[in-house]
Amino acid sequence: MTQATTQAMIPGNATDPGPLHFRDRDWHPPAYTPGYKTSMTRAPFRPLVSLGSTLSEETGPAFGRSMIGLLDNNLILNFTGEPAIGERIVMHGRVLDENGRGVPNVLVEIWQANAGGRYRHKKDGYLAPLDPNFGGCGRTLTAPDGSYEFMTVRPGAYPWPNRVNDWRPMHIHVSVFGSGFGQRLITQMYFQGDPLIERCPIVNTIGRKEAVEVLVAPLDMNRAIPMDCLAYKFDIVLRGRRQSFFENRREGL
């Protein structure tokens, strides 16, 4: 299964300044997930202190178009100007909120391994070679309807130290901002049809099958460019903001 196509097109922009929707922590992965060994010493054991959102979470940084370079969303060309090696793909979709409305001006940042499964990082010593023309990061701002697009190469799968023979499925890391700091989110996009997804201990930190499915991007032949590249569609949903006149009453009212 992949992302449901029903997570689709509802017009309008999310500009409400209201309190954040409560986060469904049964939908997200829990902190302590023994299948992913590193989480065992990095997971808080004490209960989280529950708090409704305040101005500190309802406000957040904003980013302007002027800081985005022409090639920032083109990972094939943005490192040296010469094309990276690999299967050329478009990654595109919309950033929506839980009310189903496109969120404009969201900074979307991505990073990934190259086509052989190797990251340009001093801590990655995998056998696959670096591609001299692939840096591995890109960024863009969503359009007024919440849409975004990247051109990149499909990242390779790679082995990682967890159990003796664990492999990461092909994936692209995705970081998104909402209008409030409390909406901050990092996730990973997987590719339809990859048999490593269901074997991956990081994917399986998520308990619910339906929640995993929304991280799997379907092949989107309508956005593929003939004789050039394939396309995958990945919609991202941010926490919503409540829309009520009965909010923020002063104490005692």
Partner 1 sequence: MVQRLDYFNETPSQTAGPYVHIGLTPNALGIPGIYPVDLGASPVREGARGEPIVITGRVIDGAGMILRDALFESWQADADGLYPGNDPRGQADPNVTGWARVAADFDTGVWRLETVKPGRVPYPDGRPMAPHIAVWLVARGINLGLQTRIYFDDEAKANAECPVLARIEHAARIPTLLAKRTAPGEYSFDFRLQGPDETVFFDI
Spot the catalytic one: 21, 173, 199, 223. Answer: 173
Cα 156 from Cα 169, distance rounded (Å): 8
* Residues 95 and 171: beta-carbon distance below 8 Å: no
Cα 187 from Cα 169, distance rounded (Å): 14
Of 143-202, which residues contact partner 1 (CB under 8 A)? Answer: 173, 175, 179, 181-182, 184-188, 202
Can residue 244 be called a binding residue for partner 1 (CB under 8 A)?
A: no
Of 5-24, which residues contact partner 1 (CB under 8 A)? Answer: 7, 17, 19-21, 23-24
Query: Which residue shows structure tokens 């692209």?
Result: 172
Spot the catalytic one: 88, 92, 94, 119. Answer: 119
Cα 170 from Cα 166, distance rounded (Å): 13
Q: How far is the CB of 227 from partner 1 (least distance, A)?
A: 27
Cα 251 from Cα 184, distance rounded (Å): 29
**Measured on CA atoms in the order 187, 190, 196, 197, is the torsion positive or negative?**
positive
Among the listed ranges 83-91, 121-129, 144-152, 217-225, the one in contact with partner 1 (CB under 8 A) is 121-129
Cα 134 from Cα 137, distance rounded (Å): 9
Of 215-234, which residues contact partner 1 (CB under 8 A)? Answer: 215
Total interface residues for partner 1 by CB under 8 A: 92
Query: Which residue shows structure tokens 């300044």?
Result: 17
Nearer to partner 1, 72 or 224 (CB): 72
Nearer to partner 1, 97 or 220 (CB): 97
Q: How far is the CB of 90 from partner 1 (least distance, A)?
A: 19
> Which of 222, 245, 246, 251 lies at the binding interface for partner 1 (CB under 8 A)?
251
Can residue 136 be called a binding residue for partner 1 (CB under 8 A)?
A: yes
List, in order, residues 6 or more apart from 30 with CB less than 8 Å away.
Answer: 43, 205, 207
148 is catalytic: no
Q: How far is the CB of 248 from partner 1 (least distance, A)?
A: 5
Can residue 28 be called a binding residue for partner 1 (CB under 8 A)?
A: yes
> Which of 13, 16, 35, 99 lies at the binding interface for partner 1 (CB under 8 A)?
99
* Residues 127 and 157: beta-carbon distance below 8 Å: no
Strand partners, 158: 168
Which positions are annotated as active-site residues? 119, 158, 168, 171, 173
